[in-house]
Amino acid sequence: MNLLNPVTLPLEGKHLIEASAGTGKTFNITRLFLRTLLEKALPVEQILVMTFSKAATEEIRGRVAETLNEAIEFWHAKLNGEATAIDDPVYQALFDQFSTQQDLQRIQAAVLVIDEASIYTIHSFCQQVLATYAFDTGVSTKAELRQDNTDYVEQAIKDWLRSLRNKPDELLLLAEYGWHTPDGFKGVFERGITTAIPVFCRSEEDVDAEPEKAKKALQHTFSGRFEFVFQHLCENKDVLKAQLVSSDPKKETEQEAEWAELCRWLDAGVPEKQSKLVDNIIHGRRYSKNDRVKSLMEPIKSLKDDVKKSLDALTKNQDRQANQQAVLSLVFSGIQTIKQTIKTYKNTFSILEFDDLVLNLADAVEQNPSLASELEAKYPVALVDEFQDTDDAQYRLLAHIYTNKQNSSTLMMIGDPKQAIYGFRGGDIFTYLKASEQANYRWHMDTNWRSTKDTITAYNGIFNQADFDFNIAYLPVAHAPSAKANNAPLRDENTHVSAMQFVYCDGDSEGKEKVTKAEYRRSQSEWLASEILRLFKQTRLGDEAVQSKDIAILVRSANEASSVATALRRAGITHVYLSNQKSVYASLEAYNLLIVLRGIFHNTQHNFVRAATTVDLLGQSAAQQHHLYVEDNDSAWDDIFVEFTKLKRIWVNQGVLPLLQVLIDDYLLLNGESAERILTNYQHLAELLQAQSEQNGVGSPEKLLMWLAERIEDPKSNDDSSIQRLEKDENAVQIVTQHKSKGLEYPIVFIPFISDYKDASKAGNSTAILCRYYDDSKGQVVQQIGDTSEIHEKMIREGEAEAMRLFYVAVTRAMHRCYLLISPFDKSARSAVGRALSVGNEDNWQSAINAFCDSNAACTYIEGQKQYQQKLSEKQRACSSDLIAPAPSSINTSMWRLLSFSGLLLTDNHWRRARADELVFNIDDEISTTASRFTFPKGAGPGNVLHDVLEHKDFSSDEWLQQAQECIGGVESEENIPAVLSWLDDALAMPIQLKSGATLCLNTLALNQTLKEAEFYYPLNAVNLPDFITIIRDLRQEQRARHQPMPDLDGMMHGFIDLIFEFEGKFYVADYKSTFMGNTIASYSPDKIALNMIEHNYDIQALIYSVALHRYLEKSLPDYDPELHFGGAIYLYLRGMSADNTQNEGIALLPISAQVVRNLDGIFAGETQ
C-alpha cells in the first residue's frame, strides 16, 4: 500500500484509498475533484461524488465550492505575478501543470454551476438514474418512494398470523416463544423481513451434526489445559498419590483404580463425562485436612468442574436446538410468505423503499451492460466517500458500471476499514475487503491533522498492538505540526494527567465478594462528573477556560447515556444527549397534551376535565389540586369549567396552534431540571399538530384528537419530523453515541464503560435466534434462523472485530485528551480495550494498564476510587408546597357502553376521592440509585412495566427476554435492570401457602399451565345491587359496608386478567400489584395487605375476575365442577414477595369459594338470591 499523493495518482482504474481518522479525507477528495476538473477537462456534472448521508453531501459540496474559490484566488495571483497568502502544495503542483488562462476560466465556470455538480447520496444517485432511465431499468416513473414501511410490513405479519387460525398446533408453537403476536414476531424477525440480506433456516442435518462439531470445538478449547494439568499431576505424583491412595489393603485396590482412571482421563485430554472413579478421587474427603495437597488438587478439581459445566451447557444447548427446530422451520416459512406479500403489495401500489433504489439499479446494470456503459460514459470519474460502509448491492452496482474496459474511467473508493461500524445498519466490512482485492491501486494517508502529537502517540501505541482481524492492518499515523489542536493548546494545573488517561474504577469493591455492573457504572459516572468539575477550574484551551462545549462523553447506548446524565445532573453540569432518537409522541408531554385537549374538547364532561386539571400544562399546583379534590370546592370547579369553555372557543374559532400557544404562555407551570426539555417538547408538539390540522380533512378537533392518540399509541412508526428536538446546547457537555460521533472531533473526550463486553451472539441475555454473519461458501453476509456452534463462533468473531473498530472510532475523536474509564465487568478482558492491552483475565487489569503506560509516555493511569475524591454537590432543589400533580395513568374515552372494575368505582356521579398524598409528589424525595423492590419507581406507569415484563415471562425459565429489559429500561437506568430482574426472580421463587395446604412457587409453573393477560367480556343483566353488596359484605366479614357506591349494572363487563394458572388440578386468577406499602417485607404482611385490598376495592375486582374464570371453565373444561376445579383468587404484591418469606408476606388469598362464584354468577345473570 503506497502513500497517497493526489497530484500523481493515476486517473484511471479502480483505486482504494485508506483514510485513517483525522488524516484529511475530505481535503483530499476536494483536491482530487479539482485535479479531475483540470486534467480530464470534465464539467462538474460528470464528476460523480457519492457519500452516505444528506448532511455529508452538503458538507462535501460546500468544501468543493470553497476549494474552487480558493483555487481561483491562487491561480489569479500566480497568473498576474501577485503574492498570495495561500500556501497549498497541491495547488502549486497543479498550477505547474495547468497554468493557462483557460484553466482558470474552467475553475471559474465550475464555481458558477456548483449546485449542478453530481454530488449525491448513493440513494439519491440511484433515484435520479432510475427516473432518467425508467425504460432501461423497468422502474415506473410514478413509483412512490416510502421512507416508512411500518404499515404494510405489520399488515403482512398480521395476515400470516391470521392464516394460522385454523392451525392451532402451529400457533401454539409460536406462542411458546411469544411470537404469536405481530409485535412479538416483528420484534425478533424484523430484519429478516425488511432487509435484502438473504435468509436461511437451520436444517435438521445441522442439528444432527452439532454434537460432533461441538465435541471437537470443546476438545480444542480444553486441549492445552488438559496437557498443563496432566504435567502438573506428573510433577507432583509422589505427594498426591501418597495422600490419595491408601496403603490399607481394604481400600488400596479401589483407590489405585481411581488414581489410574484419573491419570488416564487427564492423559487422554478428552473433555468427556468423567467416571465415578474420577469424581471419588477429586471430591473425596481424604485430603481435606492437608492444605498442601488441597492446593495441588485445585487445578485438577477446577478443570473437572469446568469440563462438567461445559458438557452440561452443551447438552442443554443441543436440547434447545432440537426443541426449537419445528418452530424455526415454521418461522422461516412465515418470513418467506410475509416477504412475498410485501413484494406483491409494493408492486401493486408502485412503492419503492430506499434499499429498492440500489437493488433495482444494481440488477439493471448487471442485466443490461449497455446501460452500465452509458452511465460509465456519463460519469467517467467517481469518488465514493465512506466506502467502508458500502454493502454488497452498492458495490455490485459500482463494479458493473466501472469496468474500465477502455482505460477511460476512474473509480476512487475512499474509506477506512477500521471505521466500519455500521453492521447493524447493513454496512458490510467484507464488501470492502472484496473491493480491496479487486482494486488496481491501493493507497493510504499517513498524517493526522486533527490531534496533538501526544494524543496520536498514545493511540498509535494502543492500536499498534490491537487485533482488528480479517487482515485489517493498523498503520501508525504521523503528527502534523500544523494540526488543528495546536491552535489552542490544553493546559492543566495537574501535570500528572496525560493525553491518554486510563481511569480504573473498582466500584468500592472493598469488603464485597462481587460488585454489580450497576455499581461499576455508578462509580465511573460519578468519577467522570467530578473530573469535569475539576477541568472547569484547572484547565484552559488556549487563552480560554475549558467549557462544557469542549467536552464530549461517548457512549454505546441510551442506557449508558442515562447513567452518565444522572451523575452530571447531580453535579449541576449542563449536558445534552445528541443521539436521542426518541419520538416526541413517546414523551410524557405528548400524553399530557392528549389529556388536556380531551378535557378542553369534552369541556362539559367531569371525568375529562378533572383528568386534565392534573397535568402541568393546565398549571394546577399541588395546593390547588388539594383545594379541588380533597376539599371538593364547588366554586373552584365552576371556575375551571368556565375556563375550559373559553379554551374550547379559542380552539374552534382560531385553531389548535393559538390554543396551544395560550396554554404554553399563560398556563404551563415549569420548574426543576427538566423545564427546558418539557417546554421544547410542548412547542414541538404544537407545530406538529398545527401542520396536521392544515391538511385536508384532519383539522377538526375530533380527528386531530384521534390522530394524536394514534401517534402516541405507536410512536415508533412516525417519521423524522417527530424525533425529539435538542434543548439549547450552545454550552453543554455533549453525550453522544460512539456510532454518531464518527466524523466528529472534540477537544476532550471521555469514554466510560469501555471495558463492558458485549456478546454479539446474544440478543439480550439469550442466544440470538436470527443470526447475521458472513458465509464464506456463499461469499456474502447472510441471516440464518437458528444458531449452530460454527455460526456462534463466527458471530462472536465478527462482533469482537467490530467492537475493536468502534473503540478505534471513539478514541480517535479526541484532539487533546481522551479518558478511558475501565472497570472489571464480567468478561471485560474480552472487550476491545481488554484485547488491545492483552489483559487476559479480569484480575489483570491494573497490571496490564500499568505495563502499557510504562512503555507509553503519553499515557497515564490512576485509580478512580482514590483520586479526585471531590464530593459532588447536589443541585439544591427548591422546597415548595406548590408542586405539580402527576398525570393519571390513563383515560378511558371509549364510547362503548362497557363496564369494568374501574368503571364501577369511578362514574360521573360517584367520584372516588383520592388522598392528597396520591395526587402530589415531592421533588425533594431522594431517588435511590440502586434498584430494588422498595426503590423501584412508584405509580401506574412503572406498575404497568412490571405487568408487561411478567406477561412475557416463562416462569419456569431462568432467562429473561430482551423485551423485558427494554420495558424496564423505560423507567429505570440500564445499570438497575439486573437488580429489578433479580427482585422479580426472587418474587417468583416465593413459596405461597395455599388454602388447600399445598405450597406453590410461581417459577415451577410451566408455560402451558399459565394464561397471561386474558381478555374477557360477559353480560350483566339487570344486576340486583343489594345482593351484590351482600356478597361483598360477606367476603369482607364485616357488618359495615365499605364498598363504593355503584351505578346500575346492565351491559357488558370487560377486563383483562393478569394471570390465570393451573396448579394441582385447580385453576386460579391472579393479579399483580406494585403498590408501595413500606420499606420492609413486614410492611406487606397478610393483615396489612387485606386492609389495602379493601381500601382499593381490589376484592371487588377479584370477584369480577372469578366469575370470568368460572364462565370460561364452564365452556372449555369437560366435566367442570367448581368444587373441584375452581381454586380462587390470589393477589400478588410484588414488592413484598421473596423466596425467604414464610408467612405469606406479599400475598392476598381471597376466601372466594365455589359457592360464592356460583351465587355471583347468578346475580350477574339477573337472578335474585
Domains and CATH numbers, the chain: 2-141+354-445 (3.40.50.300), 148-204+324-349 (no CATH), 206-318 (no CATH), 484-580+729-863 (3.40.50.300), 584-714 (1.10.486.10), 898-1164 (3.90.320.10)
What is the SS3 assignment for 426?
coil
Q: What is the pLDDT of residue 900?
A: 56
Q: Are strands 551-555 and 733-737 parallel, antiparallel or unpaired?
A: parallel
Higher pLDDT among residues 284 and 572, named by residue: 572
CB 429 within 8 A of CB 470: yes
CB 1037 within 8 A of CB 1150: no
Q: Tell me how far apart the alpha carbons of residues 530 and 406 are, in angstroms, rounded to a whole number.
A: 64
Nearest by Cα to 62 from 114, 124, 125: 114
- Mean pLDDT over 315-339 rounds to 91
Mean of per-residue pLDDT scores for the chain: 85
Q: What is the pLDDT of residue 39?
A: 96
What is the grid cell recorded at 1116?
Answer: 372449555
pTM: 0.70
Phi first, then psi: give them for residue 780, nearest 5 degrees.
-160, 165
Q: Tell me how far apart the alpha carbons of residues 459 and 808 are, in angstroms, rounded to a whole number.
A: 8
Which range is most confident: 367-371, 649-653, 722-726?
Answer: 367-371
- For 913-931, write each residue's pLDDT tens digit: 332 222 222 223 333 333 4
Higher pLDDT among residues 593 and 864, named by residue: 593
Q: Tell me how far apart the alpha carbons of residues 510 and 747 are, in angstroms, rounded to a whole number.
A: 35
Query: DSSP secondary-structure letter at 197?
Result: S
Q: How confident is the model at residue 1027 (pLDDT cuts 50, 70, 90)?
A: confident
Q: Is 481 exposed, middle or buried (0-12, 13-18, 19+ CB in 10 A)?
A: exposed
Secondary structure in 3-state letters for 77-98: HHHCCCCCCCCCHHHHHHHHHC
DSSP string, 701-746: HHHHHHHHHHHHH-GGG--GGGBPPP---TT-EEEEEHHHHTT--E
CB 427 within 8 A of CB 389: yes
Q: How confident is the model at residue 876 (pLDDT cuts 50, 70, 90)?
A: very low
Q: What is the pLDDT of residue 669?
A: 67
Q: What length does the chain have?
A: 1169
Q: Are strands 733-737 and 1066-1073 parallel, antiparallel or unpaired?
A: unpaired
The number of beta carbons lying within 10 Å of the beta carbon of residue 766 is 13
Q: What percent of the chain has pLDDT over 90?
A: 51
Q: What share of the chain is helix, strand, coil (3-state, %, to 5)?
A: 55, 15, 35
pLDDT of residue 368 exceeding 60, the answer is: yes
588-601 and 634-654 helices, crossing angle to 10°: 100
Least confident of 134-143, 279-288, 714-723: 714-723
Q: What is the pLDDT of residue 283?
A: 75
CB 1131 within 8 A of CB 1125: no
Higher pLDDT among residues 747 and 951, named by residue: 747
CB 708 within 8 A of CB 590: yes
Q: What is the pLDDT of residue 523?
A: 93
pLDDT of residue 1021 exceeding 90, the answer is: no
The amino acid occupying position 1139 is A
Buried/exposed code over 534-543 (b: 16+ C-beta within 10 A; e: otherwise):
bbeeebebee
Buried/exposed code over 102-117 (b: 16+ C-beta within 10 A; e: otherwise):
ebbebbeebeeeeeeb
- CA dihedral (1059, 1063, 1067, 1073) in degrees, to 10, reads -30
Q: What percent of the chain has pLDDT over 70?
A: 88
Q: Tell me how far apart the alpha carbons of residues 210 and 328 are, in angstroms, rounded to a whole number.
A: 16
Phi first, then psi: give them for residue 411, nearest 5 degrees.
-120, 115
Q: How confident is the model at residue 941 (pLDDT cuts 50, 70, 90)?
A: low
* Order of all β-strands in the sheet with 539-541: 490-492, 539-541, 544-545
Partnered with residue 1059 across adjacent β-strands are 1012, 1070
Least confident of 184-193, 345-354, 669-678: 669-678
- For 1096-1116, write each residue's pLDDT tens digit: 889 999 999 999 999 999 988
Query: DSSP secondary-structure letter at 1135?
Result: G
Q: Tell me how far apart the alpha carbons of residues 12 and 409 are, in angstroms, rounded to a whole number.
A: 6
Q: Tell me how far apart the alpha carbons of residues 1092 and 1075 are, in angstroms, rounded to a whole number.
A: 9
Q: What is the pLDDT of residue 629?
A: 60
- Mean pLDDT over 244-256 rounds to 80
- Mean pLDDT over 296-300 rounds to 89
- Mean pLDDT over 840-862 rounds to 93
Higher pLDDT among residues 463 and 1081, named by residue: 463
Dihedral sign for Cα atoms in the order 913, 914, 919, 922: positive
237-244 and 204-235 helices, crossing angle to 10°: 100
Q: Is 141 exposed, middle or buried (0-12, 13-18, 19+ CB in 10 A)?
A: exposed
Nearest by Cα to 955 from 932, 985, 980, 991: 985
Nearest by Cα to 404 from 414, 412, 416: 412
Q: Tell me how far apart the alpha carbons of residues 1071 and 1007 are, in angstroms, rounded to a whole number.
A: 17
- Mean pLDDT over 728-754 rounds to 91
Nearest by Cα to 473 from 805, 788, 759: 805
pLDDT of residue 207 exceeding 60, the answer is: yes
Q: Tell me how far apart the alpha carbons of residues 980 and 1071 are, in angstroms, rounded to a whole number.
A: 19
Q: Is 747 exposed, middle or buried (0-12, 13-18, 19+ CB in 10 A)?
A: buried
